[in-house]
Amino acid sequence: MPQSPTGRAHSTNQPTNPTQGVLNYVILRPVCTALAFITDIFDLYGEGQINFKKSYVYLATVTSSSQLWALYCLVMLYTAMRTELAPIRPLSKFLCIKAVVFVTFWQAGRWAAGPGPNAGEGIGIAILVYAGVIRHESWTTYDRINVASGIQDFLICIEMFLAALAHAYAFPPRDYMVGHSKGFLANVRYLFDLRDVVDDVGLVVEEHVSSATSAVVTAPQRAVKKAAAGIAKGSKKLFGSGASR
């Protein structure tokens, strides 16, 4: 079996380049956002609605699948590079960031009770509203939209408090007090420097284009070889049976 960067054997059916898995989300997320914007213009988005005639359900499914694949690739990378990455404690940082970004998205759906200006985004609470778990009760003036919104707001308040404590542990200030700062503007410019992302996306696209081109070039060759093998097999069968008679 092939060896991982740490010398551990891993299965050959696992992706060999986690970068591709991570960048799939980097590419798909803006595309899905653009499609959501376009379909919303034509009133075909249905944000937060479990309505299969709207694009929200399909875009949310694609986004969630892309997120899960990217997370799997990051976990696979950590498993292979655990020893080398140990000094920077990546696991706690990974869990903090991904919990805030992804868990809140999957949980969200605070306005997902139906069409109209109060419709919102999210998955978890949207499903509860759609299934009737969150519903209007006669003893209160709050409808299911208000109840879903209140549940989401309450959960976010609790979760962000816990996330703040977790971030203080995962990102202690002492880790960033080495050396001298280059200044506020230089740090902001570095923050918005996307050249590494552009380079990585370019490499992945180039690799896929090269693979597709190779497949297109070799496809006729394989077809010819397959046809020749079929003709040879048929001829052998035909002449062989004639000789036996």
Question: Which residues 6+ apart lie within 8 Å of 170 measured at CB?
Answer: 89, 92, 93, 95, 96
Q: 114 with 56, same domain? A: yes
Between 49 and 161, the more confident residue is: 161
Q: 165 with 185, same domain? A: no
Residue at 32: amino acid letter: C
Q: 98 with 146, same domain? A: yes
DSSP secondary structure letters along 20-77: HHHHHHHHHHHHHHHHHHHHHHTT---TT---TTSSHHHHHHHHHHHHHHHHHHHHHH
The reported pLDDT for the residue numbered 15 is 42
Of 75, 43, 46, 74, nearest in space to 60 by CA: 46
Average pLDDT, the chain: 75
Most confident range, picked from 27-31, 128-132, 133-137, 237-241: 27-31
Residue 89 reports pLDDT greater than 80: yes
Mean pLDDT score, 88-115: 70
The reported pLDDT for the residue numbered 179 is 63
Phi, psi of 194 (to 5 degrees): -105, 15
The reported pLDDT for the residue numbered 49 is 74
Phi, psi of 3 (to 5 degrees): -95, 140
Pick the last residue of a domain from 120, 148, 177: 177
pLDDT tens-place string over residues 29-88: 899 999 999 999 999 988 767 788 999 889 988 988 988 898 888 888 888 888 998 888
Distance (Å, whole) CA 160 – CA 152:
12
User: Is residue 195 a contact partner of residue 117, using CB atoms and an 8 Å limit?
Assistant: no
Give this prediction's pTM: 0.59
Pick the last residue of a domain from 177, 211, 228: 177
Write the CA distances from 20 to 70, 96, 165, 241, integer angstroms: 9, 23, 32, 54
The reported pLDDT for the residue numbered 41 is 93
The reported pLDDT for the residue numbered 60 is 86
Write the CA distances from 229 to 176, 183, 217, 218, 221, integer angstroms: 66, 70, 20, 16, 12
Q: 229 with 240, same domain? A: yes
Mean pLDDT score, 113-130: 55
Q: Quick one: tokens of 127? A: 């499903």
Q: 88 with 22, same domain? A: yes
Mean pLDDT score, 231-244: 62
Between 96 and 237, the more confident residue is: 96
Its domain, for residue 185, covers 180-245
How many domains is the chain partitioned into structurally? 2
